[in-house]
Structure 1
Amino acid sequence: MNKTSILTDNASGSFAGYLYQFEQGLYSLLLLEDPKGYLSIENVDDVATHNQDGTVLFTLQAKHSISQNGSTFPDNGYGLWRTIEIWLDKISQGIFDEKTKFICATNKPIQKEALVVRIVNSNLDDAMSLIAEKKQSLLDKKQVNASQGESYKTADKILPIINRVLNSKGLFETLHSNLELRDEPNLKERILNKLLLSGNSLSELQKNNVYQALLGWIQEICLYKWRNGTIAVVKKEDLDQKYQSLINSPSIIKAIFRNKADIEVGNEEIEERKNELFVKQLQDIDHNGDVKRRLIKKAIEDYIRYEIEHTYIINQVGDFTKKDFDQFIGQCQEKWQDTFDTFITKELDDYSDEEMNSKAIDIYNYVMQKLEMNFQTDHSFNINNIYIKNGGFLKLSNIPEIGWHPNWEKLYKN
């Protein structure tokens, strides 16, 4: 089961917004040209970048929405006006100045008729006029509501901020002169372009590995510093070093399959597979009860993950085709046959039941734990993606085209 499937919409939105803040942080850090510059998160603002002397180069308020039709900086939205208020406060405190860029960042396109767009595209006087018009429309609406015995809480919340803007033209001029919008629905593509990973030299999965590794790296740094009561700061030169280590890492560049931890398998899915033939083959092997339960559970997980990743790679990633997986399954059958022929050296009638059971355990354990093979010619398996190799053998044993018990054809194939 997907993690987000058990979350409420509010919880999902909050979590997505939390991750989005780090994504904006990564992109912002990539925009820095000075290797001595740095990124801060939840310090002077949601996201900010600084020169090495601490001067704020730009400050960013990140608004994220998971709603298909959602908007993040609406004209009457408290988030927009609260953002402006925060920036005015920090301009007055000297934290931001006329060199600071102020960025409203969102994953949703902002319509050209939106107030914030018109403010950005207007000169100072026209922007002040637009804000004054917004004040009047709120007052008119508030008066209409009052005549009907209703309150207008939106106006009550944002009118004080609007009044402050209108009474602080000098402060607002500093903000307005450097106000920008970053409404990018697919920030990941921008990040990959900035990393020079937009070409065809790496597969989509490899690009995603680099992206996820950098995003996770920034999160880990920030969480560690927050837990220790320090400011979450990430240096540009550290990002550059981390990136170079990633693109030269065999685990990143040679990885074509997702880590098993990224593919969740729920208890319900495990239960649904317990009547499959590949499970029966394992159930029929005499084994210690606890060992057998763990062995079957792991086998079902590997089988499910193989099916999920097989579909994902073919339909979404596009780096490999069904033919590639069919060829891999063919290699698995050949490897199994070699293993089977190595362990079964006598005629089947010459083995006792106990010896056959022992051979079945040996064959299964060798294939699953010790047998080495690649996907195609140069993509090896590791502890995180071994489910692909093992899932291929389990799939064959479910047809069944292979088996573990020496008498598998008599027991299962017929």
Structure 2
Amino acid sequence: MATAGAGQKIVGYVYQFHRALYRLFSNTSPSAIIGIETQDDVVSLIRAPDGSVDIIYEQDKHSVQVAGHPYQDSSKNLWHTLDIWLEEVKKNVDPNARRQFCFVTNKDVPPSTFVRSMSNSNDDASIASCIKDLRTLAKGITGQVRPIAERVSSYTDEELAEVIRYISLLDEHGTPDGITPMDAVIELFHLPPSLKSRGHEIYQSVLGMLIEKCEGFWLKKEGAWIDKAPFSARLHAEIQAHGMKKFIEQPWMSLDMSEYLSKEQSDHFFLRQMKGFGMPDSLCNKAVGHYWGFYAERVRLIDEGDVPATDWVARDAELHDRWQQNLGNLELLKQDDESDLMFARKLFTATLDGKHFVNLGNYQTSNWYFTAGNYHALANHKDGVHYIYWHSDFSKKSSE
């Protein structure tokens, strides 16, 4: 059985992935790479053209406790992190490296804490005072943390100053307005207003990609270092895919056509055509549903505003061309004794075969009513540019 402690640890590990994505998308440098569980929980590395490198070490601690915070003055989180950073600086002496060290937590850390004091120490005098306080604190540490505190205290003033000078405390998530890293990253996606409601769904896809990539590195026993390019590509693909979902026609059963059907008088020209070659009432009723279904979706998509009028005209033209091709083929194969009534039925069934779906601009359509209803709409307007007919009695020439 999973314990509450195990759950908190899992939340803590996932928090690192959230922070890594925040570092990735908030960084504007094209050379930035992010490490997860490398030299620290999250490490940002940016190489400049002059050969210098900026390194940000980030220790992430997420807490679900109602009170307190993870960086108490005597906590292992605090002293163990200092120990790691001091060792990292000592063994990696690079004159071209500019380092920053960040304590990150979702909690609010009070001003009176030692970690806050280190974060506020940025001149020689305050750093010297902070080092003095550190040694005093270390002497009072007991239990399992004592050896770690003693080891930290054993570093020289110069070595301690090299770390303390560049320490920052990022409490309340270290994000603008204290929002979660996930919400901050979603804001950094700069989604269009129409996709704001899908932000979390898009984020989960990008997060899943990060976890999969890290797993791949770790299975090969390699450090998990990532750059922004593949994640930006995934974001773009998700935006495009979700945008298409919005504009693709809705399934037939989800349509609300009550407003239109309440006005239905069944006095449509396309119905007069269908009844003219003996179409049964059951199929005529279905055609009415397809017609109003297409109409309702066309109204919705036009209101969305991102489908240009030229796409509708192009779709009408493609439907008309297919009808015209069927008309020509059937006329070529028409038998001498074949009646106009039978010809009209063949033309109707060949054109509305339930198999040929026509796109709307760049968006694929997959619901038959959206194509059938469009055909009925073309057959409904005799004066339309793309007017179609089934029986020769309804051709434009027949009325001239």
TM-score (norm: length of structure 2)? 0.55
Does structure 2 conserve the Cα–Cα contact (< 8 Å) formed by 1:56 and 1:95? no
Which of 4, 14, 18 is the aligned partner of 2:13? 18
Q: Which runs of 5+ in 2 are unaligned?
A: 174-179, 248-252, 259-295, 305-400
Partner in structure 1 of residue 125 of structure 2: 125
Residues 1:254 and 1:183: Cα distance change in structure 2 (over 3 Å)? farther
- Whether the aligned pair in 1 keeps the contact of 2:71 and 2:115 (CA below 8 Å) is yes
Partner of 1:174: 162
Q: Residues 38 and 130 (structure 1 numbering): CA distance in 2 closer, same or farther, change over 3 Å?
A: closer
SS in 1 for 2:169: strand
| Distance change in 2, residues 1:240/1:14 (3 Å) | same
3-state SS of the aligned residue for 1:108? coil
Map of 1:153 onto structure 2: 143
Shift of 1:131: 4.2
The number of residue pairs the alignment matches comes to 250
Residue pair 1:107, 1:184 contacting (<8 A) in 2 also: yes
Q: How does 1:225-264 map to 2 (within 5 A)?
A: 225-250=217-242, 254=246
Distance 1:73 1:37 in 2: 28
Distance 2:200 2:245 in 1: 10
Instruction: Output aligned runs, 1:95-244, within 5 Å.
Output: 99-122=98-121, 123-136=123-136, 139=139, 152-153=142-143, 156-164=146-154, 167-185=155-173, 186-197=180-191, 200-204=193-197, 206-244=198-236
Given candidates 39, 43, 47, the residue that maps to 2:42 is: 47
Q: Is the 8 A contact 2:44 2:56 kept in 1?
A: yes
**Residues 252 and 43 of structure 1: is their aligned pair in 2 closer, same or farther, counting only changes over 3 Å?**
farther
Shift of 1:91: 0.6
| Residue identity opposite 2:237 in structure 1 | S
Partners of 1:104 and 1:252 in 2: how far apart? 41
8 Å Cα contact 2:37/2:224 also seen in 1: yes
In 2, the alpha carbon distance for the partners of 1:155 and 1:230 equals 30
* Counterpart-to-counterpart distance in 1, 2:68 and 2:257: 49
**Is contact 2:131–2:160 with CA below 8 Å preserved after alignment?**
no
Gaps of 5+ in 1: 1-5, 143-151, 256-326, 333-372, 380-414
* Aligned equivalent of 1:294: none
CA distance in 2 between counterparts of 1:252 and 1:11 reads 40
Deviation at 1:125, TM superposition (A): 3.4
Q: 1:138 to 1:252 in 2, by over 3 A?
A: farther
Q: Is the 8 A contact 1:61 1:104 kept in 2?
A: yes
| 2:320 paired residue number | none
**Contact 1:74/1:114, CA 8 A, preserved across alignment:** yes
1:242 & 1:330 partners in 2: Cα distance?
A: 34
Aligned to 1:68: 66
SS in 1 for 2:221: coil
String of CA shifts for 1:179-203, please: whole Å, max 9, x gaps: 1122234222221222224x74323
Amino acid at match of 1:217: M
Contact 2:12 2:62 (8 Å CA) reproduced: yes
Given that residues 39 and 49 in structure 1 are in contact (C-alpha distance below 8 angstroms), is that contact kept between their aligned partners in structure 2?
yes
Q: Which structure's CA Rg is the greater one?
A: 2
Flag the 1:175–1:130 CA change in 2: closer, same or farther, 3 A. Answer: closer
Q: RMSD between aligned alpha carbons?
A: 3.4
1:218/1:42 CA distance change after superposition, 3 Å: same
Do the aligned residues in 2 keep the contact of 1:60 with 1:102 (CA within 8 Å)?
Answer: yes
What letter is aligned with 1:173? A
TM-score, normalised with respect to structure 1: 0.53
